[in-house]
Structure 1
Amino acid sequence: MSHPSSRADATRTAWKSVLATHHEDRGAPVSADYWSDKDTWSRDRIRAVQDEKIAAVAPFLYENSAFYRRRFDRLGVAPTDLDSVETMLANWPVVTKHEMMEDATAHPPYGTYTTCGTAEWGDRGWMLFSSSGSTGVPRVFRYTHFDRQYWEQANARALYSGGLRKGDSGLPMTGFGPHVFAWGVQYTLARMGLPVIPGGGMDGPARAALIERFKPTTLICTPSYLLYLGRTMQDMGQDPARTSVRWLVTGGEPFSGVEGTLARIQDLWGAKSLEFYGCTEASPHCGGYSCPEYQEGDTPFIHLMEDIQVWETVDPDTLTPVPDGARGLTVCTNLNSESSAQLRFLVGDYTRLSRAPCACGRNHVKAMGCLTGRSDDLINLRGIKFFPVQIEEAVRAIAGTGDEFQIRLSTRDDGLDVMTVVVEHTDAGVADAVTREIRSRCEVRCTVAVVAPDTLPKTEMKARRVFDQRGQRCCPTP
C-alpha cells in the first residue's frame, strides 16, 4: 500500500502534467484578433478538456486538501466518481463561502481548503491574498509561481480580447496591498511586453499629473475610482475625455450591468471600459472578460473562459442548476491552479448565461447583463429584499447626482428598521425625485439626505457604500 504522502505527490504531479498539456507560454498573440486560438475552440473541444481536467483534479484535491478529503468522505463520494462535468454536477453539491469560513476558523491561519501547503509555499510560494467579501471571516489563499504563469496567460487573453495592443501603456492606480486584480494585471502587462507607469501611493491630483505628463493609454482601477479621478481632473480644469486614455480596465465592483454607471464612466473619460471579472478563491485571474462585441447589443455581456474554468448558474435558494437564460448565482469550478483548484465554488454573483454564437468568434459562454452584485450583499429591510446596485441605479437616474452615495441602515428607538440614502447634489430638492426612483425599483420607503458635492469619501479600493447599524439604535458616521 502506498504511503499517503506518496499518493499526494503522485496526484499533484499528474494534475500539474494535465495543466501543462494545455498551457501556452506565449508572449505574443496568435493572430490580429486572438491571443490564443483556445478562444475559438468548438463547444465539444471545450467540454473534452474540462472533462479531462476534472478527472485529474478530483483525486488531487482528495489527497492534498484536508477540507476536500473530509467533504468527499462525508458525502460518500470517491474521487473517481468525478470524471466529467456531468458526473461532477450529479455528485458534488456546491461549496459555499460559509464552509470555507468554518474551515478557516477551525484551522488557522490558512485553513485546509487549498492545496498550497508549507512545502509548496516554501519552495515556490509567490503571494498571499485574502478574500475581500463583505461578510464573514476572511479566507486566506497562498499562490505559487506556478499559478502566476497560468494567471498571466488567462489575463493576456482577456486584455487582448478587450483591445489592448502593442503601443498601449498601463497606469495601475491601486495601493497594491490586497488588490489581487491589480497584481494580476501588473504581471500580465509585463508578459505582453506592454510598459507600466506605477501609480500606487498617490492622491488624485498626483495621478492626474501622471496622465497629463506621461500619457498612458490604459487605466487600471475600480469603477468608483475612475469616477472620482475623472471629477478630480475636471476640478483641476482638465477634461478626462481629451487625455491619452483609450482603455479603462476595471475590476472589484459590478458596473457594466448597473444601469447608468457604464455610460457615466465612458462618457466622462471618452474611453472604452473593459470588464475584468474573477474572485480570490478560484485562482483570481480573469474568468470573465470583454470582447469587441460586449456593448454592441441591447444587453452588455462578458465571456467566461471555459477551457480553464467551468461556469454555471444556480438557484439562490436551492443551489441547484438553472437553465441558460434564467437568472442565477455564478458557480465556478476552477481548473487552472496548483494552489486553489475548486469544485463548484459558489462565487455568488447574479447573471444569465447564454451559449449563443458571438460575432467576435469566441465560443465561450456569455454572462448576459454582465454581473449585478453578489448574493452576500442582499439587503433585507422590513421583509423587502433588494441589492445596493438597485439603489445605485436609482441615484444614477437623477441628473446631477454625485458619483458616490451611501446606504445607512439603522434602528429607531421604537424598534423599526429604517434606511437613509445619502446622495450628493447641489440642489437639496432632488431628494423627492431620488425617493421616487428608489421606491419604483425596490418598493421600499426610505429617507433621502442630500449633501454637497464631494462630501462623501472616495477610495481606490472597493467602494464601501452600505453601513448597517441595525439593532444599535443609531445611524453610523462613515
Structure 2
Amino acid sequence: MSQDKKQLTRQRWLALLESQRIDFDGPGSEEFWSPARDCASRDELRALQDAKLKVLTPFLYENSDFYRRRFDALGLTPSDIQSVDDLSQWPPVDKKEMVEDLMANPPWGTYTTHDDALWNERGWSLFATSGTTGLPRVFRYSTFDLAQWRWANARALWSLGARPGESVFLVVGFGPHVWAWGVSQALAHMGVPCLSGGGMTAEMRCNIIERYRPTVLATLPSQLLRLGRVMQDMGMDPAKSSIKTLFTGGEPATGVSSTRARLEDLWGARLVEFYGCTEAAPHCGGYSCPASSRPGEPVHAHLMEDLQVWELIDPDTQEPVAEGQRGITVCTNMNSESSSQLRFIVGDYTTFDSSPCACGRTHVRAMGGFCGRADDLINLRGLKFYPSVIEEAVRAVTGIGDEFDVQIETRESGIDVMTVRVEHVDHESPDAVALAVANAVQTRIEARCEVEVMAPETLPKTEFKAKRIFDHRDQG
C-alpha cells in the first residue's frame, strides 16, 4: 500500500461522511433530528448507499490488510463493488475470521482501518467485544468517529423521546463496551443531562432516583427488574417515581412481550430499546420509534440505512432471504473512519419490513425486535430455540421472582435434560409454580423440562448483562 493512496482514499472517505452529516448541531424538527435523512425516500437511501460504497471499497483496500487480502483472494478489486447490488459478490465476514486475524496480528488485528499513526494523532477510545465466545476483538476509534457517533445516536435517542429538559440515569458500568459510551456522548451532544450509576449498589441507585428524580432510566432489562424490586423492598413505589421512560439494550426486551409487560407494569413507564454491536460502530444499529410503543402497533426497531446497509441471510446457506422471512442480520457499516465493514455477520434473528412506518420514518424496520443471536441458539433433543423464548414463558407466569436460570446437562441415560430454576414468592405453592412454568415452557418449545422451585433470594442477583443459560453438555 502506498502512503499516498492510503491518505488520498482516507481523505475522500472522511470528506464524504462529513458532507452527509446533516443537522449535526441540533434537531431539524420537533419530530426528527435529521428529517432529510430520517424521512428520505427509498430511492434516495439506495442512491446514498451506492455513492458511499464507491468511495468505501478503495478506502478499505488501501487501509486494511484484512480487506486487501480478502479482495485479492476473491479475485476482486474495489471497482467490482460499486453498488448495493454488487455486494452479493462479497461473502459475508464472520467473527471467526476476525479472531483468526487478531491472533495472527496481535494486539489489534488488521480488520479495521485504524493504525498506530492514527491512534497517536487522533485516537479517541478503544472498545472490545465481551469475549464470551473466544478472544475479545478490539476496535480503536478516532475523534472523527466520535463526531459520527454523537450525530447518529442523537438521531436515535431523539426518536426514543430524549429531549432537553429530561434527565437520564445511566445505570451501566463504563467498561470497554460501546453502549454506555455511545449513549452518554449523544446525550451530551443533545444537551440532555446524564448521571452515571456505574459502581453503585442497587440501594444507592434507588436513592439516586428518589432524590434527584431523573425522568429516564437507561440500563439492561434485567437491571430494570432488579432496581424496581429493590425500590419496593425499600418502601418506594417505582410506578410513582420520576421515571417516565425505560431505555434499554444489551438483552432482548421490547420483543419479549411478557418481559415488556412486567417492566412497564412495575415502573408505570414506557419501554424503548437501543440495539447495536461493537463491530459496526459508531452507530446504535436499531432503535424504537414513537409508533413502536403505541397500542396496536407491532414492536419494531428502525435501522439507519443512510449509514449502513442491512441484510438478512439464511444462517446455513448464507443466501439472502426475502423480505418478511426470518434470517440473521448482516451489516455493511458506512459510518466510520476506523471500523467500516463489508457484510459483517452480526447474527441476530429478525424479519425486515421496508414499508413506511406510522412514525414517518422510511428506514427498514426489524419486526418484533431481535430475538437472539445465532451463536446463542439452543439445540435440545433436536428442538432449536433461543433463550428469549424461555424468558417469554417464565415471565408470563405469576407467583415467581424476577431471577431465573436454565441448566442443561446430559444424564447418565444419555438424554439431554433442561432444568428451569425459578424462585417462588412467599404466598405461592411451589408445586403450583413448578407446574405453571413447565406448562408455559412446553407450550412454547414443545419439549418437557424439569422445574426447580427455589426459596426467594436464592438465585444470584443480576449486576451486569444477565447470563441465564448454563449448558453443561460436552461441546466436543
**TM-score category, normalised to shorter length:** over 0.9
Distance across 1 between alignment mates of 2:290 and 2:117: 43
Give yes or no for contact 2:23–2:34 (8 Å, CA) kept in 1.
Answer: no
Give yes or no for contact 1:173–1:460 (8 Å, CA) kept in 2.
Answer: no
Give yes or no for contact 2:131–2:137 (8 Å, CA) kept in 1.
Answer: no
Distance across 1 between alignment mates of 2:240 and 2:382: 47
Distance across 2 between alignment mates of 1:21 and 1:460: 42
Q: Does 1:386 align with 2:385?
A: yes
Deviation (angstroms), 1:25: 6.0
Distance across 2 between alignment mates of 1:29 and 1:23: 12
Deviation (angstroms), 1:421: 1.2
In the alignment, which residue of structure 1 is the partner of 2:90?
92
Q: Does 1:206 align with 2:204?
A: yes
Give yes or no for contact 1:182–1:220 (8 Å, CA) kept in 2.
Answer: no
Pick which of 220-229 and 284-293 moved more: 284-293
Q: Which amino acid aligns with 1:447?
A: E
Q: Which amino acid aligns with 1:432?
A: L
Q: 1:155 aligns with which of 141, 150, 153?
A: 153
Deviation (angstroms), 1:443: 2.2
Aligned pairs for 1:325-336 (under 5 A) are 325-336=324-335
Q: 2:451 aligns with which of 440, 444, 448?
A: 448
Aligned pair count reads 469
In the alignment, which residue of structure 1 is the partner of 2:254?
256
In the alignment, which residue of structure 1 is the partner of 2:40?
41
In the alignment, which residue of structure 2 is the partner of 1:428?
430
Q: Does 1:220 align with 2:214?
A: no
Q: 3-state DSSP class of the match of 2:292?
A: coil
Deviation (angstroms), 1:192: 0.4
Aligned pairs for 1:182-331 (under 5 A) are 182-296=180-294, 297-331=296-330
In the alignment, which residue of structure 1 is the partner of 2:59?
60
Distance across 1 between alignment mates of 2:105 and 2:333: 23
In the alignment, which residue of structure 2 is the partner of 1:475?
none
C-alpha spacing 1:65/1:96, structure 2 compared with 1 (3 Å): same
Give yes or no for contact 2:162–2:192 (8 Å, CA) kept in 1.
Answer: no
Distance across 2 between alignment mates of 1:189 and 1:373: 27
Structure 2's unaligned 5+ residue stretches are none
Report Cα offsets for 1:136-159 as digits up to 9, x if no partner.
322111111111110111111111
Structure 1's unaligned 5+ residue stretches are 473-478
Give yes or no for contact 1:55–1:83 (8 Å, CA) kept in 2.
Answer: yes
Q: Which amino acid aligns with 1:200?
A: G
Give yes or no for contact 2:282–2:335 (8 Å, CA) kept in 1.
Answer: no
Aligned pairs for 1:336-415 (under 5 A) are 336-415=335-414
Distance across 2 between alignment mates of 1:181 and 1:458: 22
Q: 3-state DSSP class of the match of 1:141?
A: strand
Deviation (angstroms), 1:471: 3.0
In the alignment, which residue of structure 2 is the partner of 1:462?
465
Distance across 1 between alignment mates of 2:23 and 2:178: 21
Distance across 2 between alignment mates of 1:460 and 1:6: 49
- Percent identity, aligned pairs only? 58
TM-score (normalizing by structure 1): 0.95
Give yes or no for contact 1:147–1:338 (8 Å, CA) kept in 2.
Answer: yes
C-alpha spacing 1:444/1:163, structure 2 compared with 1 (3 Å): same
TM-score (normalizing by structure 2): 0.95
Distance across 1 between alignment mates of 2:374 and 2:344: 14
Give yes or no for contact 1:174–1:199 (8 Å, CA) kept in 2.
Answer: yes
